[in-house]
Chains A and B, each alone.
Chain A
Amino acid sequence: MNEHITEIVIFTALFLLVSGMGFVAARWRRADDLASLNEWGLGGRNFGSWITWFLVGGDLYTAYTFVAVPALLFGAGATGFFAVPYTVITYPLVMLVLIRLWSVSHVHGLVTPADFVRVRFGSPTLALLVAITGIVATMPYIALQLIGIEAVLKTMGVTGDLPLIIAFAILAAYTYQSGLRAPALIAFVKDILIYVVILVAVIYIPAKLGGFGSIFDAADAKFAQTPAPGDGTLLNANNQLQYITLALGSAMALFLYPHSVTGVLASRSRDVIKRNMSALPAYSLLLGLIALLGYMAIAAGITPIGTDVNTVVPQLFDQMFPDWFTGVAFAAIGIGALVPAAIMSIAAANLFTRNIYKEYIRRDATDAQEARVSKLTSLVVKVGAVLCILLIDPQFSIDLQLIGGVIILQTLPSVALGLFTRWFHRVGLIAGWTAGMTAGMVLLYNIANPANNHAHFGGSAFPLSKLGFDTPMTVYAGFLALIVNLAVAALATVIARRLGSSEGVDGTRARDYTADAGDPEVKDDVELAGST
C-alpha cells in the first residue's frame, strides 16, 4: 500500500470540492446567459475589489511560480530572488497604465490587448502580431502549470499520465461551462489554502531546522562547495545587472500578458484597480517567503527526485509536515495550478476569437458565435498544453516560457506606450516588433547553460562579452531586445512619416482614456462593438 495514502485522500477530496465549485460558478453572480464574451470571457466585467484581488492574485502568482522560484534559490541562490523586486516594482510601474487601459476598453467594448491596438492604430496587421505574440507566450505558461501538479503527484508516488489528464479534463469542462466565473470562485479557496500553508511553513519549518540563521549558513556552505561562480546567497559584481534588468523587464512584461489584462478588464471600476495595486503586494510578500523554502530545503538535506528540482518544495513539505497537512499543502499547489491555467486559456481563446476569427474568418460574427468559438478554442488550448507536457520534453515548455517573457515584452511599444501616445507610426511599430523579436531570438539562441548541457536557449542572462564588451557581466536578453525594438520603431516612424505613409485611423478620443464607471460612455452592459 502507498505510504502517502493520507495525502492522496486529502488532495483528491479538496480537488473534487473545488471542481464542484467550478461547475456551480456558472450560476454565481448570475448572468441572463453566458453567450457573450463579456459574460463568459470577462465574468460580466463587474468584479469588485475583493474578487479582483483573489482573481488577479491567483492568476499572476501561479503554482509553477510557487514551485519554481524556491527551486531557483535551491539551485543558484540569490539570483532566484529577483522574483521579489520584480513583483514589488510592477504595481507602482503599471498603475497609471492599467487605469487608462481599463477606461478605453470599457468605452469601446475591448476584450484583449490586441483589440486596443486595432482601434488605436487602425492596423489589423499590428493587432494580429500582438495577438499571435500573446497566444504564443501564453501557451507554454499553461503547460507549465501542469508541471506544478506533476511535481506534487510525483512526490506522492503517483506516476503515469492518467491523473494529469483527468485533472485537466475536469478543468477544461468547467472552464467551458462557467468561463471566467470558475477561476474567480476557485481563487478564493486556492489563495486561502496557500496563505495558510505558507504561513505555517515559514514558522514551523525554521523552528524545526534551528532558525533562519542556521538555514542561511547551510545554504552558504552548499554554494561554497559548488564550482559554479555565479551562485551564493548574495549577488556578485557580474550578475547584478542581470538581476535588475530581469526584475525590471519582467515587471514591464507582467501586465502585457493577455491573462493579466483579462483579470484587470473584469473589474468594475478604475478605483477597484487602483486599490488592488496596493493590495496585490501582499502576494509578493508571500512569494518572498515561499522563495526562502528553497534554502530550507537545502538545510533539511532534500535532494530532488531524479533531475527535477521542481520537486524540492513538495518533498520538503512531505518530510516536515504531518501527512494530513502535507495533503492540504499539495492540494494548495494543485488547485493553484487550476486558476491561472483557466484564466490563461480563456485569454488565449479570446485573442483567437477577437483578433483572428472575427477579423479574418467571419467579420459578422454575433456575440453568441464569438462566445462559442472562444469556448471551443479554450478546449483546444488545454489539449495542446497537455500534449506539450506528455509528448515533448517538459524542458521544452520551460524554454518556451523563457522565450515567452522576452517576446511578450515586444508588445510594450504598441500596447503600453500606445495608451499614452499616438506618436509611433503603425509601420514603425510593426518594424520595431519584427526587429525586437528577431533580436530576442538571436540573443536567447546564443545563451548556453553548461549546468544542464544546453548549447542554446539555456537561460535569459546574456553575456555582454558576446557583444564585444570586455566584461564578464550579463544582462537580461528581453531588455536588450526591447531597446532594439524601441530604436527601430522610432527610426521607422520618422522614415514612414517622411515618405507620407498613411497613419491609419485612431478610433479613440482623449477622454476615452479617463472614462470611469458611471459615465454615459461606460455602459454597465457593454455592447461588444466591432473596432470603430
Chain B
Amino acid sequence: MRVSIQQKPFSLTNELESFTAANTAAGAVVSFTGIVRSEPENPLEYMLIEHYPGMTEKTIIKFMEKAAARWNLKDYLIIHRFGKLNPGENIVLVVTSSKHRRDAFDAADYLMDYLKSRAPFWKKEVSEKGVGWVESKPSDEIALKRWK
C-alpha cells in the first residue's frame, strides 16, 4: 500500500512490474494512467500542477481506506505528480489488485473519481493561446454520485 506525491517522473513499466511481483496472491491487477494531453487545435506547451502538501496525502489515504472497506482488495498504489509537466508525461497512476477482476476495476474507478475532484490538486495549462487554470467539470460531480 503506497501513496506517493512527487515531482519526479515515474516509469509505468517499473511500477507495474514491482507491484505485480509483490502481489502473487492477487489474480487481478488493474491500472489507470493519466497523461498530459495536448490537442492539435490548441497545442499545450506545458502544465503546472499545484497541491496542498499534507492534506493531499491525508485525503488520498482516506479514499484508499474507504476503497479497502468497500471492495476486496489485496493491495493498492497511487502516484500523483506535481510541478511542471510536458505533454505526454504521466500525471497519475492508480493500481489496484484483488483476487478477481471486478473489485480491482471498481476500486480503481472509484479512486480516480475521487482524485479528480476531492484531492487538493490544481492544474494550470500554458499554451500558445494563453495561460489558464483548468476548471472542474460538472461531469466530475456526477461521476462521484455513482459511488453513494
* Same complex origin of A and B: no
Point out residues on A near B: beta carbons under 8 Å.
none
